[in-house]
């Protein structure tokens, strides 16, 4: 996949105008088929991913470094509290993805049949420049924040293997590898490394549990708090960090051979992901108990097997880093490179050659890598996942989709009892999103000044 093709994932080839009629409903009866589906949605293609491949892509998009913060989330939320929050995050993420799909299909049916519709396009068409900027901002900060979290994870993990070098030094040394990777103009190189990375992730998840069962005994459920309201906001963002991947789902759906089956495929994938992560987080917490680290990998030490698990995870995140940075990086490139090129053109009094644009783009990429390095200096993996997940990713999943859906469907939903129930559920998700995002962001900022202490074995 050529990297310039990915630009279509964020910006259309031509501008889309906004639906701004104040006197006509945004959705008309002609937009619906008899089965309740929206006309103009994605059509089946002879080429594309199967349902199984799509489910695997969704699984890969969700399961990652965030899974290793879940045991610590149970420590902060309690047994029942942790399970409830994980289930709610999984269900609400599934529902809001479907909201985005329906909004996209209406736009395609109305006037954008030849466009590749993105999250940013949906926001601009439905709400205008303000919502468009909100999606831009959350996508950029989310993308760069996730990349920074990967750096923290790698730095902490390598430091746990040899503490003679500080985590920040490991991160600086990693720049030697990450900068060339981010300068690549093609993603073909990652086809192989992604497979190896998936294997590394599987080794990591199973390795934590194998190590735990080998060296510890499961503690009783009764030995732990069932619900811990006061510290729940300190880990809600870590759960959102894992599940809130709405901005990554549209390209996955678009690549399906039979998009009509996307809803069912998404439901199966989200169910499996929710069950697997809830089980992993709970089991790991019951094994490590009060000594659970915000990055549970740090609870492992000793044997060569442990080193193998940690190295495999570091390789996975190193290979994933350029891909997680791609959404935010491409948004900024499409915004800043033309502006900077015009500025250089005015200074030189002549057109800017293509090599100059490549140089500007490359410089921007290097700067962004060091920006993530700066963000990574937040104290722990748990802190950065809570901040990024609780603000940027939760906003993209639990706040913006309900707002778009209400704006687009509000009049239609009020016409029937079933529609009113749907509208009530949408408003409930919106209120939940605003409340959880506000509390988690507040707690994340407060934690800079009053950090939550981790067990001594995590340092």
Which residues on adjacent β-strands are paired with residue 38?
32
Task: Return the H-helix or E-strand segment holding 172.
Answer: helix 167-183
Say what angle helices 354-375 and 129-161 make with each other, to 10 degrees.
60
Helices (H) and strands (E) in the chain, counts: 16, 0
Tell me: the pLDDT tens digits for 43-90? Answer: 555 567 788 878 877 877 787 788 999 999 999 999 999 999 999 999
Is the distance from CB of 282 to CB of 111 less than 8 angstroms?
no
Say what angle helices 262-288 and 233-243 make with each other, to 10 degrees.
140
Query: Cα–chain-centroid distance for residue 136?
Result: 14
Alpha carbons 147 and 368: distance in angstroms, whole number: 10
Q: What is the pLDDT along the chain (459 residues), one digit of tens a residue?
A: 333 333 333 333 344 444 443 333 343 333 333 333 333 345 555 567 788 878 877 877 787 788 999 999 999 999 999 999 999 999 999 999 999 998 888 888 876 566 667 788 889 889 899 999 999 899 889 889 889 989 999 998 898 888 889 999 999 999 999 999 888 876 555 555 566 667 778 888 898 999 999 999 999 998 899 999 988 988 898 899 888 888 778 778 877 888 888 899 999 999 999 999 999 999 999 999 988 988 898 888 877 888 888 888 888 888 788 878 877 887 788 778 777 777 777 776 666 566 677 888 888 899 999 999 998 987 677 788 888 889 999 999 999 999 999 998 888 888 888 889 999 999 999 999 999 999 999 888 887 777 767 776 675
Alpha carbons 143 and 152: distance in angstroms, whole number: 15
N- to C-terminal Cα distance for the chain? 41
What is the maximal distance between C-alpha atoms in the chain? 75
Q: Give the E-state strand segments of 249-364 in sequence order.
A: none
Tell me: the pLDDT tens digits for 276-295? Answer: 999 999 999 999 998 898 88
Alpha carbons 27 and 107: distance in angstroms, whole number: 10
Q: Which SS3 state, helix, strand or coil, does residue 41 take?
A: coil
Q: What phi and psi, each to the nearest 5 degrees, are found at residue 32? A: -110, 140
Alpha carbons 411 and 409: distance in angstroms, whole number: 6
Predicted TM-score (pTM) of the model is 0.79
């Amino acid at each position: 996949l050529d990297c310039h093709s990915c630009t279509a994932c964020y910006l259309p080839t031509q501008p889309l105008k906004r639906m701004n009629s104040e006197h006509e409903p945004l959705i008309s009866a002609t937009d619906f088929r008899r089965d309740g589906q929206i006309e103009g949605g994605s059509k089946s293609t002879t080429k594309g991913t199967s349902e199984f491949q799509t489910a695997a892509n969704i699984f890969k998009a969700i399961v990652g470094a965030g899974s290793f913060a879940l045991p610590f989330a149970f420590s902060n939320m309690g047994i029942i509290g942790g399970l409830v929050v994980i289930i709610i995050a999984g269900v609400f993420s599934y529902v809001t993805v479907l909201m985005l799909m329906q909004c996209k299909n209406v736009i395609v049916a109305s006037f954008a049949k030849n466009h590749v519709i993105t999250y940013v396009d949906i926001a601009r068409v439905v709400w205008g420049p303000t919502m468009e900027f909100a999606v831009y901002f959350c996508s950029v900060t989310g993308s760069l924040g996730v990349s920074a979290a990967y750096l923290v994870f790698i730095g902490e993990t390598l430091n746990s293997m040899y503490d003679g070098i500080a985590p920040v030094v490991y991160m600086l040394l990693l720049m030697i590898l990450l900068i060339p990777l981010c300068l690549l103009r093609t993603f073909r190189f990652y086809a192989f490394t992604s497979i190896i990375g998936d294997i590394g992730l599987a080794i990591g998840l199973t390795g934590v549990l194998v190590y735990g069962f080998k060296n510890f005994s499961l503690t009783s459920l009764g030995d732990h708090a069932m619900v811990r309201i006061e510290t729940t906001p300190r880990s809600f963002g870590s759960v959102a960090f894992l599940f809130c991947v709405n901005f990554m789902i549209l390209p996955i759906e678009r690549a399906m051979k039979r998009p009509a089956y996307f809803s069912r495929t998404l439901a199966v994938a989200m169910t499996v992901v929710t069950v697997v992560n809830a089980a992993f987080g709970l089991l790991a917490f019951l094994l490590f108990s009060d000594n659970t680290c915000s990055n549970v990998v740090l609870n492992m030490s000793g044997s060569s097997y442990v080193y193998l698990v940690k190295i495999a995870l570091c390789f996975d995140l190193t290979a994933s880093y350029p891909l997680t940075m791609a959404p935010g990086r491409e948004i900024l490139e499409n915004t800043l490179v033309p502006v900077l090129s015009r500025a250089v053109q005015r200074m030189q009094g002549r057109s800017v050659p293509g090599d100059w644009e490549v140089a500007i783009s490359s410089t921007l990429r290097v700067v962004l890598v060091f920006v993530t390095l700066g963000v990574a200096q937040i104290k722990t993996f748990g802190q950065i996942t809570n901040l990024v997940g609780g603000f940027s990713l939760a906003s993209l999943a639990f706040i913006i989709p309900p707002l778009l859906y209400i704006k687009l469907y509000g009049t239609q939903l009020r016409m029937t009892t079933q529609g009113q129930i749907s509208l009530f559920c949408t408003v409930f998700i919106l209120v939940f999103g605003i409340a959880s995002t506000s509390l988690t962001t507040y707690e994340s900022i407060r934690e800079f000044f009053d950090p939550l202490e981790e067990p001594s074995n995590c340092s």
